[in-house]
Chains A and B, each alone.
Chain A
Amino acid sequence: MAFSVIGFSVIQLMGEYLFTQRTRDDQRIADNLAEAFSGYLVAFDAQSIYDAALEAARAQQGRVLVLDALCVVQVDTASEMNGQRFITAEIDGVLKGSDGDYGFYDAGSAGNAGNYWLRAALNGFSGVNAMTGLYASPIKSGGSLVGVVVYISQVQEIYESLRDIQIKILSWMAIVALAVLLVNALVLRTITRPIGELNEGISRMSKGDLSARVRVRGNNEFAGLARAFNSMSERLEQLDKSRSQFVSNASHELKTPLSTMKILTETMVYQDPLDPAMAKEFLTDINKEIDRLNRIVSDLLTLVNIDSGMKLNLTDLDIGALLQEQVKRLSPLARENGVELECQAKESLEVRGDALKLQQVVYNIIDNAIKYTPRGGEVRCALSRAGKRAVIRVTDTGVGIPEEDLPHIFDRFYRVDKARSRETGGTGLGLSIVKQFVLLHGGTIDARSAPGKGSTFIIELPLAEKKKEG
């Protein structure tokens, strides 16, 4: 649009300049002729007027008419209108006292208008059949108007030049406009459409439809945004599912001990008379369920803390010593379960971590290994270095984990053998907490297992960076 305005403004200015210049030139010619003809016209010297008019007309490729005060053409360089009366608005203006007037005429329009003599005057010189300029200048003698000089010039060539320029500019404008529109369409297609789809997806999500996805087109920023949105929505959907699952699992886990306690309590309430031995047994069971409930709540709180951005109390600690310490703590349990517990942590490796959290990690893994290893089995703990990482391997000869359960063993409330887990006092949150602690330390945890042959848990933690001496 701006291009159009500039283009047309330039053409307008050019046109105005050219026409103004032509008007000035014609005015000068007509005024000079009027001055020269004054004496001739008074003396009725037609030959001198004709010769001078013809010379001027030929020099400028125009046409000169000399009218008397009654608008009768007395001299016509085309010798066609002599004796005719001829008037235009410009001549009329001169007759009424103007010092000269200029007008542009379209010869075709003049013809259509039915003004025969105007058309004859405008078409009088060869090659001109469109726009012409007409300048009227008064011929005065002794202060009185004795005639009018009408100078008719071609301005068609100016029009044609301007038209050529305009056609070129119009063509370019059309091309540019088309290109701009195509680019706009393309941009609209690549920007607004993905944004619209994204908006629609967000709208669906805001209404609770977390399955909303947007179509990913191309490989630009909008495609990236769409992918991010899809990823986010997938994650949200997964979280929503996890949350539902978690709530469901948590409710279930919390409800189980409560139900047990209710049954035991009701039994005692409706037991009449109450057997003290049985009451003691029931109360003991209730106490166990309360402990279990307490552990579940405690684990849930731990996970909540982790999810809320738990802060670690980081120190440089000897992970080998930590491992040996936990092995030592669990040795009584291993002996009680008839499981041989070994630890090979000769190398002293320092990691930067929260001692309590890492103790809980190592403790839980070894504890699980002991609990799920049958009597006579073995649990081996080993510490090694792999590059810049400390690798803790806890290998047992237990029942192992089915292949289909392996990807889920770190999920919250996921149990491979639910009955056995509860028997062993598990909450289903231990491995999940372990994994979260390891991740908080920048480490990884992995489990490899073959059913019936045992399992190996591998914990990798980044070694603490040694300070340069000196």
Chain B
Amino acid sequence: MRKVLALIALMTALCVALGGCVLRGPKAQSAGEISLPEPSDEPENMILGESMSGAMSEVTFYRAAQDFSGFTTYTQTLRTDAGASLAEAAVEALLAAGTRATSDVRLLDFEFSRGTATVNLSIDAQNAASPQELLALEAAIGNTLLGIDGVRGVNVLVGGISAGCCQLPVGVQTQVTQSVTAAYAQMQAESERLKQPDAEPIERAALLYFPSSDGQWLLPELRAVSSGADGFASSLIDALKLGPLDERSAVASIPEGAELMEEGPVTESLGTGERVLTLNFSSALANYLAFSGVDVWQLAGSVTLTACSFLPELDAVRITVNGEPITMCAIGETILNFPDGLMRRRDFSGRVGSVATLYLLDDADRLSAVERPVSMRVALSPKSLLTELFSFTGVESGYRLPLLTPVYPEDLLGVQVVGGVARVNLSANFYRSCQNLSPRAERDLIYAMVNTLCALEDIRAARFYIEGRAADTLAGSVYLRSVLLPNPGLVAPTPQPTPTAES
């Protein structure tokens, strides 16, 4: 019996041994000690201020054919310097190349906000031989800019007003125009059609300007509007009344309840030859404004920028309350005066702002994309954006950076953008503030900065230095001796604005 038991034990052991061999399957690797590659030594690079060098981009330019049947294209490499956008540089280059129509035309002003560019050309553009030639110039600018990353719409003004075509607004160009001849013929046909009673409305893309949520800026929003019985004026006002589609960064400019008097928007030509749009509100406007928290300048700026950027050959807007024109308003301590109540686009063009995307921790400790109204300059400046970002340190709730110790603008010594990489030079104080961060907090802090910087068109990666020297990590986790690409997967999904029937 012992022998039998011994045999059973032997066979069982053999089975288990064999089974064990097979169960192991392929040989599992062990995480042995393997040395990581070391970066080469770098010289000290004390970056101060803000600079952008060597940002070379290829741009495809459009030039209208002699018979306006189409466009010829050519490609040119452009260099953009700090503070200038590629789109602006492209317009400058296009005008500099010159054609019969653009030989004397200059770029007076360039606004770029929320993906739309507003190009304000000098009055010389009116010297074009024909409306078709001016349309060709506008289409060439539009086509060129739409080929640049981040540009979704182009609005061309001449001397601060919308030139229009065939007495119709051209609107914001959102698609490449293939043939000027065809586009002009369509404008003519639409103009004739609108003269007919009960004509089908036509549609244009317009920029509606709404007050920013912080009350500092007027933010453009691309919106489709249709022509009404009296043209586009009423449609623009109605669209403004609806308020912004994206309410995260902007608010409505015309408060609910504020209505125009019976005559509605009235467009008239003054003796000076200027065309003016008059909006006559009821006497309750002041109450509604006070109730909704909208300033007069916001209402005036919103209406003026919207109307003058779209309606053809409109020089000014006059807002009256029960027949009395508003002749002045205050923006903080700045007083704006409007002689004869005429508000022009240039009165408010300096208040056109933009939206910067900052990446901050939300209440659920997730990195979220937060849209913040800022000036157009700040929106294009990596250093300014990081400074904005730093204003969220030392905060325990709401949107914040995971740094309980506040850091200040002076802790950002400098930012240099080279070849799409933002080199960020941080102070020793910033470094010290990060020493007790957990791995997750360190990761969130670093990628808040990287993602914020990379939201800019010209920046695709970031590199960090401490007092001009390369450091391994801030708090022991994220390696800083290499460039860091943004981390899109770390960002919590952003709720999209709800589209309305108007849009």
Contacts and interface: CB of A to CB of B under 8 A. Distances in A.
Contacts of A178: 8
Given A77-B489, A188-B4, 14 more contacts: A8-B21, A45-B460, A54-B489, A79-B487, A83-B446, A84-B477, A84-B478, A87-B34, A91-B34, A103-B29, A104-B28, A109-B28, A131-B25, A163-B23
Contacts of A110: 31
Interface residues of A, number: 64
Interface in A43-72: 43-47, 49-50, 54, 68-72
B436 interface: no
A300 interface: no
A226 B7 CA distance: 29
A115 B32 CA distance: 9
A166 B29 contact: no
B484 A95 contact: no
B15 interface: yes
Interface string B1-22: 1001001100110110011011
A89 B29 contact: yes
Contacts of B488: 46-47, 50, 79
Contacts of B478: 82-84
A302 interface: no
B155 to A, nearest CB: 28
Given A43-B460, A83-B443, A83-B479, A15 B25 contact: yes
Interface residues of B, number: 47
Given A8-B19, A162-B23, A163-B23, A174 B37 contact: no
B422 to A, nearest CB: 11
A399 interface: no
A224 to B, nearest CB: 26
B486 interface: yes
Contacts, number: 148
14 contacts: A15-B25, A70-B36, A70-B481, A70-B482, A77-B489, A84-B479, A88-B34, A105-B29, A106-B28, A113-B30, A115-B31, A177-B12, A181-B11, A188-B4
B176 interface: no
B25 A46 contact: no
Interface of A: 1, 4-5, 8, 11-12, 15-16, 19, 43-47, 49-50, 54, 68-72, 74-79, 82-85, 87-92, 95, 103-106, 109-110, 113, 115, 118, 131, 134, 158-159, 162-163, 166, 170, 173-174, 177-178, 181, 184-185, 188
Give the 10 A-B CB pairs with smallest separation, nearest first. A79-B489, A83-B478, A44-B460, A46-B485, A103-B29, A115-B31, A44-B461, A82-B487, A72-B482, A74-B485
A47 B486 contact: yes
A78 B28 contact: no
A25 to B, nearest CB: 14
B19 A166 contact: yes
Interface string B37-52: 1010000000000000
Interface string B149-172: 000000000000000000000000
Contacts of A76: 487, 489
B490 A170 contact: no
B490 A82 contact: yes
A11 B30 CA distance: 24
A384 to B, nearest CB: 66
Interface in B254-291: none
A128 to B, nearest CB: 14
Given A89-B32, A104-B28, A166 B485 contact: no
Contacts of A159: 25
Contact of A104 (B29, B32, B39, B481): B29
